[in-house]
Amino acid sequence: MTIHLRVRPGTLAICRLGPDEAVPAWARGSFVSVTRTRDELSVVCDEGGVPSDGRAERGWRAFEVEGPLDFSLTGVLAGLTAPLATAAIPVFAVSTFDTDYLLVPGHRLSEAVDALRQAGFQL
């Protein structure tokens, strides 16, 4: 099976809030992911609305695996992250019911594209 990827438009921020905080109104955009654990509330969203004083890593870009992916598939994220690890490119993964997203620092996007193409992924 050939995995096809596309680079999503826009720049994202990965934000950390306290575990009891409400999902903030600024968590908006064409890509929003919210995960709550007993230790934190993580929000990934368009960076434009994130307050400047918030705890956030800004400037991330996202690869979208063209889906939907069947739940029986194995090794998709491992296959994506291996060439990026070899290139020393940090990643942040987000999975949904239908597909996977892999975020990389925006200033390393072209390197990530090259590494993934060399590994046989279609972009």
Of 35, 1, 8, the closest CA to residue 112 belongs to: 8
Instruction: Label residue 102 by pLDDT band (50, 70, 90).
Output: very high
Q: What is the mean pLDDT of residues 13-18?
A: 98
pTM metric for this prediction: 0.91
Residue 30 falls inside a structural domain: yes
Token code pair at residue 2: 């050939």
Torsion, Cα of 29, 33, 37, 41 (10° steps): -20
Residue 123 falls inside a structural domain: no
Q: Which of 5-9, 51-55, 75-79 is predicted least confidently?
A: 75-79
In this prediction, residue 88 carries a pLDDT of 98
Residue 74 falls inside a structural domain: yes
Residue 99 falls inside a structural domain: yes
Q: For the stretch 77-97, what's the b/e string if a residue is b when 16 or more beta carbons lie within 10 angstroms of its beta carbon?
A: eeebeebbeebebebbebeee
In this prediction, residue 2 carries a pLDDT of 76
In this prediction, residue 99 carries a pLDDT of 85
In this prediction, residue 105 carries a pLDDT of 98
Q: What is the mean pLDDT of residues 70-98?
A: 87
Residue 54 falls inside a structural domain: yes
DSSP 58: E
> pLDDT of 16-75, one tens digit each?
999 999 999 999 999 999 999 999 999 999 999 999 998 999 999 999 987 766 666 666
The CA distance from 102 to 14, in Å, is 12
Q: Domain holding 52: CATH number?
A: 3.30.2130.10
Domain of 70, in residue numbers: 5-118
User: What percentage of the chain carries pLDDT values higher than 90?
Assistant: 79
Residue 75 falls inside a structural domain: yes
> Where on the phi/psi map is residue 120: left (φ > 0), alpha (ψ -120 to 50), or beta?
left
Q: Is the pLDDT of residue 77 over 90?
A: no
Q: What is the mean pLDDT of residues 83-104?
A: 94
Query: Domain tally for the chain?
Result: 1
Residue 51 falls inside a structural domain: yes
The CA distance from 115 to 34, in Å, is 28
